[in-house]
Structure 1
Amino acid sequence: MDNKRIIKIKTIQIDSKGEQEEIELVTEGKIFLKNEHIYITYEETELSGMNGTTTTLKIGNQSVIMKRFGNNNSQMVFEKGKRFTTKYKTAYGDLKMEIVTQHIEINVQEDLKKIEVNINYDINISGLFEGKNIMNITVN
């Protein structure tokens, strides 16, 4: 199996005032299976504001773990109805980040030809940003 794939991540952030910002990243990454989980790794770009950071997604049946290493370090766990608190490490210091996953949908085609993940979650970063995020990840 060729493990190089095109990864498209589209995120819509809706702040507490209802204002929306859309971020879309299309990049090449790698995909592999390990212990019944799908792993996707890719390099962040200047567009995402996290240049110099590697992101790894660990996809299970009903959960996704997103880990970032490099200039920005963080871990986010998405599992419906669960609250997850972590530290978001930046060059400017650590920020407390809390997420609550409202909806998660994972669709995987046979032989991993296409993977689609949809996650809706509430986020609060140290009181500096509070809102809702809608994230769509497609791997072809």
Structure 2
Amino acid sequence: MSKEVLVTVTGTQTNEWGEKDTIELTTLGYMYVKNGSFYLIYNETELSGMEGTTTSVKAEPSRVTLNRMGSAEMRQVFEEGQRHEGKYITPYGSMDTKVLPCKVEVDLTEMGGSINLEYELELDRQKIGYNELSITVKEV
């Protein structure tokens, strides 16, 4: 059974010169538990640059899978120390992605909690920078 939750997503990207760019999105979403994994579903907004896209997150104890469907599409897996490849599809074309996470922390209960990811990101075989993604979930 899913329940409505408040989802806050904070993303920080640090480029090769040490410059940081942070975006924060707070929106209503839904969370449910199935077979010991937590699932979050929320809609992206204009602020994230992906309006018209639905994001779903599957959080397992040591693995997080992010799926985006809609105006932008992507599936990315985060496991500490494991390089995972994916594809990012936009209305303007598609790019190959690779992530190498150095931190994957899942601290969720049925009442909320957080997911914290830190990883290197490559787009089309070019290192984009070091990223931090924090997702906090609170009961409404």
Provide the TM-score with structure 1 as the length reference: 0.94
Q: How many residues align?
A: 138
Q: Distance in 2 between matches of 1:98 and 1:127?
A: 8
Instruction: Tell me the SS of whatever aligns to 1:31.
Output: strand
| Letter in structure 1 aligned against 2:26 | V
- Equivalent in the alignment of 1:31: 31
RMSD: 1.3
C-alpha contact (below 8 Å) 1:15/1:129 kept by paired residues: no
Q: Which has the higher strand share?
A: 2
C-alpha contact (below 8 Å) 1:38/1:60 kept by paired residues: yes
The superposition leaves residues 12-67 of structure 1 with CA deviations (integer Å, 9 ceiling, x where unpaired) of 10011211100000000000111221100000000000000000000001110000
Instruction: Tell me the SS of whatever aligns to 1:82.
Output: coil
Q: Distance in 2 between matches of 1:85 and 1:108?
A: 26
- Equivalent in the alignment of 1:87: 87
What is the aligned-residue identity percentage?
33
- Structure 2 segments unaligned to the other structure (5+ residues): none
Provide the TM-score with structure 2 as the length reference: 0.94
Instruction: Tell me the SS of whatever aligns to 1:50.
Output: coil
* 2:116 maps to 1:118: yes
Q: Distance in 1 between matches of 2:2 and 2:100?
A: 35
Q: Distance in 2 between matches of 1:22 and 1:14?
A: 9
Instruction: Tell me the SS of whatever aligns to 1:81.
Output: coil
Shift of the alpha carbon at 1:108? 2.1
C-alpha contact (below 8 Å) 1:9/1:138 kept by paired residues: yes
* 2:19 maps to 1:19: yes
Of 119, 123, 136, 2:134 maps to 136
Shift of the alpha carbon at 1:88? 0.6
C-alpha contact (below 8 Å) 1:62/1:104 kept by paired residues: yes
Q: Which moved more, 1:79-88 or 1:120-129?
A: 120-129
- Structure 1 segments unaligned to the other structure (5+ residues): none
